[in-house]
Amino acid sequence: MFEAQTGMLLWSLETSTLAALLAVLWLHAPSKKHHLFFACGFAAVGIGSALVSQRGYLADFWTIIVGNTLALSAFGFWLAGLLRLERRKIEGWIFIPPLLWLAFMFLPPVRDSVLARVLVYHLCAAIGYCTIAGVVLTSREPLSTTRKIFAAALVIHALIGPLTAALIIPYNMLVGQRLPLTAPVAYSAAFSFVVLMMIAVKMFMEDNERRLHRLSVTDHLTGVLNRRGLMEAFPRIKKAPEHRSSQLMLALFDIDHFKKINDRHGHQCGDDVLVQFCALVDRIVGVKGTFVRMGGEEFACLLTHSDLNAALRIVDGVRVYFARLSTEGIGGSFSSTVSIGIYSSPVVEADLDLMLKMADRALYAAKSAGRNRTVFNDGVANVVLPADDRGEDPHDNNADRQVAALNRIAAIGSA
């Protein structure tokens, strides 16, 4: 027969050790508060289990009310840790299990019955496990196989507790133990906990790997993808079945006179311009394209389309609206402009190196034409898109040539 008091004390020691390890991790990196929440959860289980094990030696208030409430409050701390780790809002519902237990303790039929208390405790614990499973499944992280397995294991563990208690503990109570705990209950709980811990560790490792990868492909200043992110996104776009019959446009953006902005207003102001530009592109392009920072003041955007003129209007819209924005600098506010070079190719034939080369030629042409221009490379020549925002006279010879060139672009797009 499994001696309940010894088992509870051992369990208390194990969980307290985990709490100490997690607390050390938090002290090493105080900004990672999820370690602190997880440590508090295991500490609550450890202290609560130690109090419950002293049933018959301490007053029932400490062993039944306080001990079990502490043990159930662990779910609140664990949920807080998960939510904090995933940058989600922590709300009061995380402490439903211990609050529900306390509510039942105000009912004499439950408080005065060992079997009722055990069943209510396992019911509250089951709610806690199912709540954790719900948080795991609704994570902002990709729903990986490990997450699904972990959630399923939590639900199974939630069901095993009340079921085992309901079937075994009534018989065990006939023996007259102070703590109606038997080997099947203890072994099943211990085994389930070990399995849950193993799956949880694997899940956290996978999540950390994804976060590290996300950091490696993200520009730390602007939050958009970096050049490596472009290299990874390009083959995914090419392989996507829904894009096989589409065209793929690559637009290169270069903020005009950026060095002068840094020299005149300071690098912090220059950084503000970069962040402002990225926010504008996000509003205009959004999920329709893949936007990256190539380095310095140069950016790129991959945009799949079936209508070339519509895609050109989207990209040129970035130039138009960016020129209307103002940034606070030394001596007052100022506005900036951007030059754009564009090249388009059928998705199935797209080659990133070639597209970068042709778009870069178009970008150079935009700079040479006076900046604040959008230039399209059609594979033969660079074409400056006409723009009303520059006050171009449609009867001007140069503008006439631009309109004719735009008509040629339209013909290419409809071909």
310-345, pLDDT tens digit by residue? 999 999 999 999 999 999 888 788 999 999 999 999
Tell me how far apart the alpha carbons of residues 22 and 43 are, in angstroms, rounded to a whole number. 10
> Closest by alpha carbon to 225, among 295, 297, 328, 136?
295
Tell me how far apart the alpha carbons of residues 128 and 122 are, in angstroms, rounded to a whole number. 10
pLDDT tens-digit profile of 51-66?
A: 988 888 899 999 999 9
pTM above 0.75, yes or no: no
| CA dist 336 → 144, 319, 373 (Å) | 43, 10, 13
Q: Which CATH number fits domain 227-414: 3.20.20.150, 3.30.70.270, 3.40.50.970, 3.30.70.360?
A: 3.30.70.270
Residue span(s) of the chain under CATH 3.30.70.270 come to 227-414
Which pLDDT belongs to residue 186?
56
pLDDT tens-digit profile of 190-230?
A: 666 677 777 777 877 877 888 888 888 999 999 999 999 99
Amino acid at 276: Q
> Closest by alpha carbon to 288, among 249, 245, 253?
249
Which comes out higher in pLDDT, residue 376 or 171?
376
Say yes or no to pLDDT of 306 above 70.
yes
Answer whether 305's CB lies under 8 Å from 402's CB.
no
